[in-house]
Amino acid sequence: MKNLLRVPTVLLLVSIGLTGCIGLQPAPMYRLDSGTSEVPERTDGAAVLLAPVALADYLQRDALLQRLADGSLAANDQQARWAGSLKADIEQLLLRQLAWRLDTQSLVLGPPDEGFAPEVQIELSITRLDSGPEYPAVLEAQWRLRDKAGKHLGSRLVRLQEEHQGSASDQVRAQSILLQRLSEMVAGAVEPALVAKNPAKPAPAKPQTNRSAEAPAPRIPAAEPIRTDMEVFRF
């Protein structure tokens, strides 16, 4: 009787072991794509402050959530996760994109160091950034612009959408494109504020000069008698 009980016990242990091996498979991890963004060469560009980005509570987690048909959010079937902090990833993407688009290396992520006096401050909040296998990527955000004294310069609410192929990797690609488009829109709103704060200086007018003082009048040589060796004889 004891021998008969050993076989199912062994099979059960093997089954548990196989299940454990399957459960230990590493979950896929993803990062946002910063897209095309070159490091600006100008060192005298405008001073701009990007305040820490405010994210919706449901985005402050490691899981790559999926939008379902009933509008709810659930973890990916493969337990996909973000590689690191999604908030930090978004801030770095926006920082590089804005610095490239505004052509300035003086773009700082808040809080700023002591002595940094920004000409424009950007306050950005993202209330939605998600997608699903059968639903496009959607980004909902709001930005506010302030000058160095904190005076309100403008604000805007946006909702952007991007299609994808359904896979988790393509969903992340679509979400990255939405953030790149958002940075383009924010840069377009910041540029007029910088121009208003730093109007172009008119070119200095050329001084008018007196022609008489500029060049002396041509000198007319004095008439001189012409001498000749010929003699005149009178009869």
Domains recognised in the chain with CATH numbers: 46-58+90-197 (3.40.50.10610)
Q: Is the previous residue joined to 111 through a cis bond, with omega within 30 degrees of 0?
A: yes
* Cβ(24)–Cβ(58) below 8 Å: no
Q: What is the pLDDT of residues 130-156, one digit of tens each?
A: 999 999 999 999 999 999 889 999 999
Residues of the chain with pLDDT under 70: 1-24, 197-235
| pLDDT of res. 210 | 56
Quick check: 39 and 101 in contact, CB under 8 A? no
Q: What is the Cα–Cα distance from 2 to 5, expressed in whole angstroms? A: 5
The one-letter code for the residue type at 227 is R
| Residue 217: per-residue pLDDT | 56
Determine the residue type at 139. L
Q: 168, 76 in Cβ contact below 8 A? A: yes
Q: What is the pLDDT of residues 83-97, one digit of tens each?
A: 999 999 999 999 999
Q: What is residue 77's predicted lDDT score, i.e. its pLDDT?
A: 76
- Reference 145, options 55, 49, 45; nearest CA is 49
Contact 169, 30 (CB under 8 A): yes
Output the DSSP codes for 130-177: EEETTEEEEEEEEEEEEETT--EEEEEEEEEEE---SSHHHHHHHHHH
Q: Please state, in angstroms and rounded to a whole number, the distance separating the CA atoms of residues 137 and 168.
A: 11
The confidence score (pLDDT) of residue 128 equals 97
Check if the beta carbon of residue 130 is closer than 8 Å to that of residue 64. no
- pLDDT in the model for residue 30: 94
